[in-house]
Structure 1
Amino acid sequence: MSSPHSHTAEEIQAWLTGHLAEILGVKAAEIDIRAPLDSYGLDSAQGMLLAAKAGKFLGFQLSPLLLWHYPTIESLSQRLAEESQASDSEVFEI
């Protein structure tokens, strides 16, 4: 059993940018990490999808509410990196 990998803010930022671009059908280069996510027209269903995919990527479940508390990719990725590092010892692989 391998230990869970904690991700840096940069890794999470790159992942979020890529997946947001995929969901919205735009190029990753068009995503501004400092722009509010809702400025891209992200609806609640897309937000839940992004949160679910991010949870799988990170190895822990995250609430879609985080997207509203941390409304930019930059702030969200920093928060998720903290959570990723803090939860390393709490995550169990099945």
Structure 2
Amino acid sequence: MQDVRTWLIQRVATYLRRDADGIDTSQPLTEYGLDSLTALAISTDIEDEFGLELDPALTWDHPSIDALATVLTAMIEEKVS
């Protein structure tokens, strides 16, 4: 399974039309222009990629890639065990 953080960086870069190397993973994604539609699309992609069911507010509750990767990794580990 692909590293969650790396996968998130690539997805966010694609949706926000930015170079992945230019994304500061500690910054809130709203600072890069993340809106509710994009957040929902990313949540759907996460569900598809990792087989999780997410609360749509998860992206807003964990607004940076670092924060989101931490919670998703824990969810994946819980699912596997």
TM-score (structure 2 length as normaliser): 0.91
Equivalences for residues 6-21 of structure 1 within 5 A: 11-21=3-13
Aligned counterparts of 1:62 and 1:30: Cα–Cα separation in 2: 27
Following superposition, the deviation at residue 62 of structure 1 comes to 1.3
Instruction: Tell me which protein shows more helix as a share of its residues.
Output: 2
Aligned counterparts of 1:40 and 1:25: Cα–Cα separation in 2: 10
Aligned counterparts of 1:55 and 1:86: Cα–Cα separation in 2: 15
- Please tell me the root mean square deviation across aligned C-alpha atoms, in Å: 1.4
Structure 2: segments with no counterpart, 5+ residues? none
Matched with 1:75 is 67
Matched with 2:18 is 26
2:50 paired with 1:58: yes
**Deviating runs (4+, > 4 A) in structure 1?**
none
Between the two structures, name the one with larger relative contact order (CA 8 Å, sep ≥ 6): 1
Following superposition, the deviation at residue 64 of structure 1 comes to 2.4
Structure with max Cα Rg? 1
Aligned residues: 81
